[in-house]
Amino acid sequence: MSALRRALLVARRDLAAERRQPDGLVAALTFTVTLIFVESLAVGPGEARRPAIAAALFWIALLFAAILGATRSFERELEDDAIDAIVALEGGRDALFAGKALALAASLAVVALVGGLLSLVLLDLDVALPLHLALALALGVVALPPVVVLDTLLALRLRARALLVPILALPVLVPQLIAATQGTAAALAGDAGASLGWSGLLVAFALVYGVLGLTIVPAAIE
Amino acid sequence: MIETAIRPTRDRSRALRARPWLGAASLAASAVALGMALVWAPPDAVQGDVQRVMYVHVPSAWLAYLAFVVVFLASAAWLWTKAPWTDALAVASAEIGVLFTGLALVLGSIWAKPTWGVWWTWEPRLITTAAMFVMYVGYLLTRGLSTDFERRATRAAVLGIVFVVDVPIVHLSVLWMNSLHQLPTVLRAGGGPAMDDRMLLTLVVSVVAGTLVYAWLLLERTALELARQARILEARR
């Protein structure tokens, strides 16, 4: 079985488990919606309508939703010791990292879609460049999982993992957060060149941490 | 395997025995650098005496880079060889790197207040440096929360490799983005150093003195960590 098929198998299994018991997805969705709502109230609806603020509120919410989703996904593996079986398989460690990252990206795409639509409606945002916005959203979502999954894996067997994962992931995700926020804001405001430039940075970020994760992840999984 | 790796080899013992000499050399070099920075180097034509902060700020930033690159190399060596001295080297360098990153941030802030009018501003070099500081605090925190020696070393090694990506980002951020921070003055792409000769020499001496201090602290902390590892080994028997 090829490495890609193994990774897809893990991702399909993760998504199937999520379909049967969608507590991780529901928690991430609820959290994102609540955070966007509360953040918009805190800065004031007038202020939150500015493209840069609306984009920042959305991506901060999605970033925490990614951490929440990854933590829940791995907790499920720990509850029935399934992770030990996957790790014991040939190529299982790589498949676990890649599969979890793919599944998280798929879940986050749903959360981003719902959260994005909610932001558009609640904040009455105008979208100047819909295709650029879709590209920035898609690349921003793809750039998140490699770092979040890697850090969740590292903190998995530690009691303080709920504390540790955000501490480890957030500083690394600073370039992703800035690029995704600026790319989204530029697409909302109608600056095509800036939006594409920031999207390029998101591609580079996803590639660097995706390759890095696949290279060293066998050593990280216990 | 752990027993063999922890036991000091002749080469490692020789390196560790050099500590008093290195300590003396680094203190002497620091005294010379301090004298040059405070007395010999001229004040900046625009900034005046506050510019002298540069003679500690720049070496601190350089040593932070160096320390985290050493963490990366030691981490890769741990994953490759599983030799405990590589883990001792990694934690020693990470702690010193956090110290120098914190020093660079604080000194930069002290310089920024009279020069820029603010203690802190949201510009790329400052943000990426602060992120690097938090990353390596997280690295040390992860080490502290792990109890098993080999798992802790492996976790830390992976983080040491992932986090080093931030070092070139910090350094090149002033070139990639619009930045209020000073652009490279010594290693410039378009020509030689853009500063007075006495200032340049003082800066070079300060960097050399700082590097000696780093090497001394590294050996001292590595020796402490090796002693700690030996105690763990004793407890296992």
Q: Are A120 and A183 in contact (CB under 8 A)?
A: no
Please, what are the averages of pLDDT over each run of 10 residues along chain B (237 residues)?
Answer: 49 71 92 91 82 92 96 95 93 97 94 88 88 94 87 92 91 70 64 76 94 95 90 78
Q: How far is B194 from chain A (nearest CA, A)?
A: 30
Pairs of CB atoms within 8 A across A/B: 62
Determine what percent of chain A is predicted with pLDDT higher than 90.
49
A3 three-state secondary structure: helix
Task: Please give the pLDDT value at position B2.
Answer: 45
Task: Please give the pLDDT value at position B58.
Answer: 92
A157 touches chain B (CB under 8 A): yes
B168 touches chain A (CB under 8 A): no
The predicted model gives A45-58 an average pLDDT of 89
The predicted model gives A181-191 an average pLDDT of 94
Q: Residue A95: give the domain boundaries.
A: 3-220
A203 pLDDT above the threshold of 90: yes
Judged by CB atoms closer than 8 Å, whether chains meet at B128 and A174 is answered as: yes
Cβ-based contacts of B135 with chain A (< 8 Å) = 168, 171-172
φ and ψ at residue B169, rounded to 5 degrees: -65, -45
**pTM confidence score:** 0.85
A172, A208, A212, A217: best to mutate for the B interface, most B CBs within 10 A? A172
Which letter, b or e, does each residue of A84-122 get, where b requires 16 or more Cβ atoms within 10 Å of its Cβ? eebeeeebbbbbbbbbbbbbbbbbbeebbeebbebbbeb
The predicted model gives A36-63 an average pLDDT of 89
Cβ-based contacts of A171 with chain B (< 8 Å) = 131-132, 134-135, 138, 166
Task: Please give the pLDDT value at position B9.
Answer: 55
Distance CA A97, CA A154 (A): 11
Task: Please give the pLDDT value at position A137.
Answer: 96
B179 touches chain A (CB under 8 A): no
Task: Please give the pLDDT value at position A33.
Answer: 87
A193 touches chain B (CB under 8 A): no
Q: How far is B12 from chain A (nearest CA, A)?
A: 27
Task: Please give the pLDDT value at position A193.
Answer: 93
Task: Please give the pLDDT value at position A40.
Answer: 85
Taking the CA atoms of residue A82, residue A86, residue A88 and residue A89 in that order, the dihedral angle to the nearest 10 degrees is: 140
B44 three-state secondary structure: strand
Domain total in chain A: 1
B157 touches chain A (CB under 8 A): yes
Q: Which of A102, A110, A104, A106 is nearest to A33 (CA)?
A: A110
The predicted model gives A10-39 an average pLDDT of 86
pLDDT tens-digit series, residues A78-102 = 877 777 878 777 777 888 889 999 9
Cβ-based contacts of A170 with chain B (< 8 Å) = 134
Cβ-based contacts of B127 with chain A (< 8 Å) = 174
Q: Where does chain A show beta strands of DSSP type E?
A: none
